[in-house]
Structure 1
Amino acid sequence: MVAGRKANKRPSMFEVAKLAGVSHQTVSRVINNSPDVSTSTRAKVQRAIEQLDYRPSNSARSLASHRSRTIGLIAGGQNFYGPISAIGAIESIARSHGLFMSVMMVHEALCTQKEFDNLCRTFDEQNVDAFIFLTPTDVMFSAACRARISRPRVLITSAHGGMGVQEELRLLRPADRRKVALVGIDQWGAMEDVMHVLKARGHRSALYFAGPREWRDAFTRLAAWNKLCATNAVNSVTVQCKTWEGGEAYAKMNHVLENIGRSGGRLPSAVVTANDAQAMGVARAMHEHGVRIPQDVSLVGFDDMPGVDNMLPPLTTVRQDFETLGQLAMCEVLYLLGEGAEPGYASSQHGVGLVPAKLVQRSSVGGASSR
């Protein structure tokens, strides 16, 4: 223990400065990673910090820098693979930049503007530096755009939905609009890759299992699929689902197969689903009806959830790059805070910077059956 300091008393910045033989301002600059400190001085201060086991007070650092180094994250979709993966990536990237994440979850479909505004006020009381809003549904996207906050906000969303991006952003005050950034996954490009593979294998008829209408990713995937089918002369029938659950897709696929059996109709050569859980349900229904994958019908999912590579057969699906999504969301935060360069994107739509997704080809897709 350093002489003159009582046991169990937390060491102060002034004690670090005294031990290192520097001013407390210099210690502060070292703690805040200022470049205006020589290598030798920085080393002396670090040695003193380690010797005293000094831990800087976050509240003191906030007062000195006028920054809390805390980001407020409001997110929906806590029960789903995509949003949870994105939250994990965001938190990891934030931690690597020395930032703290304060997270609040809401129900993505039942969240009201009042609830959203109350959460924002709670974060304001914590003096967060910026907000990240993970808004998978139209109702959350609208609430995030309408929130009356002055701090920078980054919205993670899809480029399309029942509510248009630019229409919603016009509701913002001009001063606030300059402090908003939007990032998302390139759903449209992913569906183009799916169509390219199916067309190359000779598929001209398909079923498309759509996700819940209020989810912006589901809206974008369906809009892209319908346009691509029209462009590529693929005859597609949409099976609209109210949930993302495999059980619903299983029941609906059973109904489709039973109708085909009764009417003597033809199977589509391919089934494309809006997520992997739906693909699992569809695969189960086809197996129970003696429909072989891919010999009779090819199957494509979306998400590349853990385990789908071990389905029988392994599932062809789209892998979304949530790590890069989280990284770019944090880059946008740092840029809006004046602490980093403006991030670049390979493509964008309606002002949403897009992260590419990758089609992972496995053996659930084959050539179109001649049956």
Structure 2
Amino acid sequence: MGAERRQQKRPSMFEVAKMAGVSHQTVSRVINHSSDVSETTRTRVQQAIDVLGYRPSNSARTLASQRSRTIGLIAGGRDFLGPLSAISTVQETARRHGLFLAVSMVHEALCTQQEFENLCRTFEEQNVDAFIFLTPTDVMLSAACRTRLSEPRVLVTSTHGNLSMSRAGGLMDPEGRKRTAIVGVDQWGAMREVAGLVARLGHRSALYFSGPLQWRDAATRLLGWRKASAAQLIESREIQCDSWDSSEAYARMNHELESIGSSGARKPTVVVTANDAQAIGVVRALHEHGIRVPQDISLVGFDDMAGVSDLWPPLTTVRPDFDDLGTAAMREVLRLLGAGGETAFVASAHGAGLIHAELIQRHSLGPVPRV
């Protein structure tokens, strides 16, 4: 019996139409959730679908709606929390709207223009309806803007970098710009909150660990911190890192503490890092030098990685809403496809709609130490 079932021909739309007593065009309208079908007819067609075990193919949907119901997503940052979280939410949102997500991950720093365009052409051969590009680096943002596309595109990126948003827009053809939306995280707003809280706790001497500046997140956070800390009259010195890794931050913090020890200079009262991994390296170096957090030096991170609430002391950090970011990107896709309204953003800057990032205060940030 099992073998017979496997050999049975897959039921067609025409068989569903015959059983329901309607045209195959009506079956197509039911499959594609058209409003031009009465509830009585819709129920009859759905009953026939259930009895026959009919499953509409993607090609059938495409013929009916002139869309493949597929979104192409190209993303960098495959080893990092933010892009992976955003992809997961995009996929979930797409599924809720009956859409399929085709994903390709690339190296965020080594992706070439040719590689990017080849991936887009591959997706276009699948007849994708739109693109989402997660472009954490200037290299990827440039490639995403230079690629000529007839489909709408949503860029998920940070507002600042060596490639400005205005220059990035200039890389697109005029028609491409009309079919493009940009979303990101309000990292300047987050840095204003960090600097404000640090200042209210009495800190006026800070050390800032920057991330690798080819990453737009690192550039945006650094510029945001510079402006916000200056506005709060915080004297801030920067340590430029070439990676996001805790090991590099650990080594650089060790070198900094040894230099302070040999010169007799005063230690900063707070260290602010561009991500939580750097904060983990910093706290290890401080511990090994017998420096207490936050009694001697306070510490702030960024990203609210899993586990940092269980560090000792628990890490004060910024929590970007990556779920909301992915949802906003998908909503912008639907808007560009004419299937949704305007997305409400908490802020906007440089042509990008921005998602909130919440400052999470924990025990690693305390009042300035008494002398």
TM superposition score category, shorter chain reference: over 0.9
Is 2:131–2:154's contact at 8 Å kept on the other side of the alignment?
yes
Distance in 2 separating the partners of 1:18 and 1:145: 49
Shift, 1:346, TM fit: 1.9
Which residue does the alignment assign to 2:332?
332
Q: Which amino acid is the alignment partner of residue 38 of structure 2? A: S
Q: Which amino acid is the alignment partner of residue 222 of structure 2? A: L
Q: Which amino acid is the alignment partner of residue 236 of structure 1? A: S
Which residue does the alignment assign to 2:286?
286
Q: How many residues align?
A: 368
Question: What CA deviation, in whole Å up to 9, does each residue of 1:258-295 have, x standing for no partner?
Answer: 11111222111100000000010001110111110110
Q: Which amino acid is the alignment partner of residue 72 of structure 1? A: G
Which residue does the alignment assign to 2:59?
59
Which residue does the alignment assign to 2:113?
113
Alignment of 1:11-90 (within 5 A): 11-90=11-90
RMSD: 1.3
Which residue does the alignment assign to 2:259?
259
Shift, 1:6, TM fit: 10
Distance 1:197 1:125, change over 3 A: same
Which residue does the alignment assign to 2:307?
307
Q: Which amino acid is the alignment partner of residue 171 of structure 2? A: L
Determine helix, strand or coil for the equivalent of 1:108.
coil
Is 2:269–2:298's contact at 8 Å kept on the other side of the alignment?
yes
Determine helix, strand or coil for the equivalent of 2:102.
strand
Moved more, 39-48 or 319-328: 39-48
Alignment of 1:135-146 (within 5 A): 135-146=135-146
The answer for unaligned runs of 5 or more in structure 1 is none
Matched, 1:162 2:162: yes
Distance in 2 separating the partners of 1:35 and 1:186: 39
Distance in 1 separating the partners of 2:6 and 2:184: 53
Distance in 2 separating the partners of 1:218 and 1:83: 14
Q: Which amino acid is the alignment partner of residue 73 of structure 2? A: L
Matched, 1:355 2:355: yes
Shift, 1:344, TM fit: 2.4
Matched, 1:102 2:102: yes
Shift, 1:56, TM fit: 0.3
Which residue does the alignment assign to 2:322?
322
Which residue does the alignment assign to 2:199?
199
Determine helix, strand or coil for the equivalent of 2:11.
coil
Is 2:142–2:171's contact at 8 Å kept on the other side of the alignment?
no
Distance in 1 separating the partners of 2:232 and 2:320: 24
Which residue does the alignment assign to 1:124?
124
Which residue does the alignment assign to 2:92?
92
Determine helix, strand or coil for the equivalent of 1:250.
helix
Shift, 1:370, TM fit: 2.2
Determine helix, strand or coil for the equivalent of 1:182.
strand
Q: TM-score by structure 1 length?
A: 0.97
Distance in 1 separating the partners of 2:74 and 2:298: 38
Distance in 1 separating the partners of 2:15 and 2:173: 48
Which residue does the alignment assign to 1:216?
216
Distance in 2 separating the partners of 1:75 and 1:118: 14
Which residue does the alignment assign to 1:180?
180
Distance in 2 separating the partners of 1:40 and 1:159: 51
Distance 1:167 1:6, change over 3 A: closer
Distance 1:7 1:110, change over 3 A: closer
Question: What CA deviation, in whole Å up to 9, does each residue of 1:14-37 have, x standing for no partner?
Answer: 111122222211111111011111
Is 2:69–2:129's contact at 8 Å kept on the other side of the alignment?
yes
Q: TM-score by structure 2 length?
A: 0.97
Which residue does the alignment assign to 1:230?
230
Determine helix, strand or coil for the equivalent of 1:271.
strand
Is 2:309–2:315's contact at 8 Å kept on the other side of the alignment?
yes
Question: What CA deviation, in whole Å up to 9, does each residue of 1:149-189 have, x standing for no partner?
Answer: 11101000011111111112122221111000000000000
Moved over 3 A (4+): none
Shift, 1:64, TM fit: 2.0
Distance in 2 separating the partners of 1:245 and 1:67: 43
Distance in 2 separating the partners of 1:364 and 1:236: 19
Q: Which amino acid is the alignment partner of residue 178 of structure 2? A: R
Moved more, 301-310 or 12-21: 12-21
Question: What CA deviation, in whole Å up to 9, does each residue of 1:80-103 have, x standing for no partner?
Answer: 111111111111111111111111
Distance in 1 separating the partners of 2:223 and 2:351: 18
Question: What CA deviation, in whole Å up to 9, does each residue of 1:317-368 have, x standing for no partner?
Answer: 1111011111110111111111111212121111011001101111111000
